[in-house]
Amino acid sequence: MAGQRLNGKVVLITGATGGLGTATAELFAREGARLVITDVAEGPLRDLAGRIEALGAEVIAAPLDVSSVPQWDDVIDLVRNRFGTLNVLVNLAGIVDWPGVEDTSEDAWDRVIAVNQKGTWLGMKAALPLLRGSGNASVINTSSVLGLVGSGSAAAYQASKGAVRLLSKTAAVEYARQGVRVNSVHPGVIATPMIQEILDEQGDQQPDIQRTPMRRAGRADEVAPAYLFLACDDSSFVTGSELVVDGGLTAY
């Protein structure tokens, strides 16, 4: 269809059944992408695949724990066999742990780092041979406003998201002349299952919303277009950048 910005591009999304993942996958489907949706949540993955097929897009759904090397290898084999190429990797899988430095348990630290930080690296490491081969590729990693500024809590999460920010920049430099762009997205407070409990309890009185100049949480469909911009050729000269989508939270 004319005007589709991802026409025919093969896109792999992790954490695809989450709030941001679903909005991104559905937008990308409408923009003509061929999708590989992955998540640890297998039931929701099948449901999402059905909705994407109903939008007329080609889709395969595969279970993937991003902290597992063998699972990454299996998914990349699947992509290679089915499509023979990969144009876009969207790393969206993530978990949060709220305690500060002293109250964070070692287990929680290890799990958050394994999923958010190591999972992002493993995804790039597994996918880069196919991405490089496509000649025109984009990696979009998900950091956070909590990868830019300190909040006084969520020690492991902040450490992981800060790492994702700089991992993205060094990969951008390393692969700039190999046809692979790498950028990070930094959402602010976005109403998704990850923080739904907090929003249900506190509503717009939630302190980060009160610090957000727009005084509201963002919606997933307000963040997905940032991923679309970085995935499509409109951003052909954009690499190593941080796209902040936070209603102004980090503007002052």
Ligand X SMILES: NC(=O)c1ccc[n+]([C@@H]2O[C@H](COP(=O)([O-])OP(=O)(O)OC[C@H]3O[C@@H](n4cnc5c(N)ncnc54)[C@H](O)[C@@H]3O)[C@@H](O)[C@H]2O)c1
Q: Which residues bind ligand X (CB under 6 A)?
A: 14-15, 17-21, 39-41, 64-67, 92-95, 115, 142, 144, 187, 189-190, 192-195
Give me the half-sphere count of Cα atoms (radius 13 Å) on the Cβ side of residue 52.
29
> How far apart are CB 57 and ligand X at their closest, in Å?
19
CB of 137 closer than 8 Å to CB of 180: yes
> How far apart are CB 1 and ligand X at their closest, in Å?
27
Measured from the CB atom, the residue of 44 and 179 that comes closer to ligand X is 44
Measured from the CB atom, the residue of 15 and 32 that comes closer to ligand X is 15
- Distance between the two ends of the chain, CA-based, in angstroms? 42
CB of 12 closer than 8 Å to CB of 75: yes
> How far apart are CB 28 and ligand X at their closest, in Å?
15
CA-to-CA distance for 20 and 28, rounded, in angstroms?
12
- Is residue 175 among the annotated active site residues? no
Backbone angles phi, psi at 11, to 5 degrees: -125, 125
- Of 157, 175, 227, 252, the active-site residue reads 157
3-state SS, residue 196? helix
CA-to-CA distance for 142 and 193, rounded, in angstroms?
16
Measured from the CB atom, the residue of 44 and 133 that comes closer to ligand X is 44
Measured from the CB atom, the residue of 31 and 97 that comes closer to ligand X is 97
> How far apart are CB 177 and ligand X at their closest, in Å?
29
Q: What are the residue numbers of the active site?
A: 157
